[in-house]
Structure 1
Amino acid sequence: MKALAARRHHRFAPMLLLLLALLVTGGLYAALEPSSANATAATPSANDVDSGTKLFKANCATCHGMNAQGTSAAPSLIGVGAASVDFQVSTGRMPAEANGPQVIAKAPQFDAKQTAQLAAYVASLGAGPAVPTADQVDGSKGDAANGMALFRTNCAMCHNAVGAGGALSAGKYAPALWDTKPTAIYEAMGTGPQSMPVFNDANLTPKEKRDVIAYVEAQRNGSPGGAELGSLGPVSEGVWVWVLGMGLLIGCAVWIGAKSS
Structure 2
Amino acid sequence: MRLLNRSAGRLSRHRRGPVAGLVLLLLGLVLSGGLYAALSPAQAENTEPTAAQVEKGRELFLVGCAFCHGQNGQGISTKDGDNQLGPSLVGVGAAAVDFQVSTGRMPMTQPGAQAPRKPEVYTDEEVDALAAFVASLGPGPAIPDEQDYSTADLSDEERQEAIVRGGQIFLTNCTACHNFDGSGGAMPRGGYAPTIRGVDPKHIYEAMLTGPQNMPTFSNGNLTPDEKRDVIAYLESTDEEPSYGGFGLGGLGPVSEGMFAWLLGLGSLVAFAIWIAAHTTRTTKKKKVEA
TM-score tier (shorter)? 0.7 to 0.9
Gaps of 5+ in 2: 1-7, 78-84, 277-291
Q: How do 1:214-229 and structure 2 match up within 5 A?
A: 214-221=233-240, 222-229=242-249
Corresponding residue for residue 230 of structure 1: 250
- Change in Cα spacing, 1:76 to 1:247, as seen in structure 2 (3 Å) is closer
- Give distance in 2, aligned partners of 1:250 and 1:135: 57
Deviations 1:171-206 (A, max 9, x none): 211101114222211110100111111111222222
| Local SS of the residue matching 2:76 | coil
Contact kept in structure 2, 1:139 and 1:217, CA below 8 Å: no
Higher-Rg structure is 2
- Change in Cα spacing, 1:240 to 1:75, as seen in structure 2 (3 Å) is closer
- Change in Cα spacing, 1:5 to 1:49, as seen in structure 2 (3 Å) is same
- Give distance in 1, aligned partners of 2:28 and 2:190: 62
| Local SS of the residue matching 2:75 | coil
Q: Which amino acid aligns with 1:64?
A: H
- Give distance in 2, aligned partners of 1:249 and 1:65: 60
Q: How do 1:68-217 and structure 2 match up within 5 A?
A: 68-72=73-77, 73-140=85-152, 141=154, 142=159, 143-217=162-236
Q: CA deviation at 1:41?
A: 7.7
Aligned residues: 254
Corresponding residue for residue 258 of structure 1: none
| Local SS of the residue matching 2:149 | coil
Corresponding residue for residue 42 of structure 1: 47
- Change in Cα spacing, 1:117 to 1:12, as seen in structure 2 (3 Å) is same
Q: CA RMSD in A?
A: 3.2
Corresponding residue for residue 82 of structure 2: none
Corresponding residue for residue 3 of structure 2: none
- Change in Cα spacing, 1:235 to 1:41, as seen in structure 2 (3 Å) is farther
| Local SS of the residue matching 2:226 | helix
- Change in Cα spacing, 1:242 to 1:63, as seen in structure 2 (3 Å) is closer
- Change in Cα spacing, 1:111 to 1:2, as seen in structure 2 (3 Å) is same
- Change in Cα spacing, 1:241 to 1:3, as seen in structure 2 (3 Å) is same
- Change in Cα spacing, 1:236 to 1:132, as seen in structure 2 (3 Å) is same
Contact kept in structure 2, 1:168 and 1:174, CA below 8 Å: yes
| Local SS of the residue matching 1:136 | helix
- Give distance in 2, aligned partners of 1:107 and 1:249: 45
Gaps of 5+ in 1: 256-261
Contact kept in structure 2, 1:40 and 1:131, CA below 8 Å: no
Contact kept in structure 2, 1:92 and 1:106, CA below 8 Å: yes
Q: CA deviation at 1:242?
A: 6.9
Percent of aligned positions with the same letter in both sequences? 50
| Local SS of the residue matching 1:203 | coil
Corresponding residue for residue 280 of structure 2: none
Q: Which amino acid aligns with 2:36?
A: Y
- Highest relative contact order (Cα 8 Å, sep 6+), 1 or 2? 1
After TM superposition, the score normalised by the length of structure 2 is 0.74
- Give distance in 2, aligned partners of 1:124 and 1:40: 20
- Change in Cα spacing, 1:16 to 1:128, as seen in structure 2 (3 Å) is same
Deviations 1:5-64 (A, max 9, x none): 21211245445544543443333233322357xx68833333322211111112112222
- Change in Cα spacing, 1:160 to 1:134, as seen in structure 2 (3 Å) is same
Contact kept in structure 2, 1:78 and 1:126, CA below 8 Å: yes
More helix by share: 2
- Give distance in 1, aligned partners of 2:16 and 2:180: 70
Contact kept in structure 2, 1:41 and 1:130, CA below 8 Å: no
- Give distance in 2, aligned partners of 1:146 and 1:129: 24
- Change in Cα spacing, 1:107 to 1:247, as seen in structure 2 (3 Å) is closer
After TM superposition, the score normalised by the length of structure 1 is 0.82
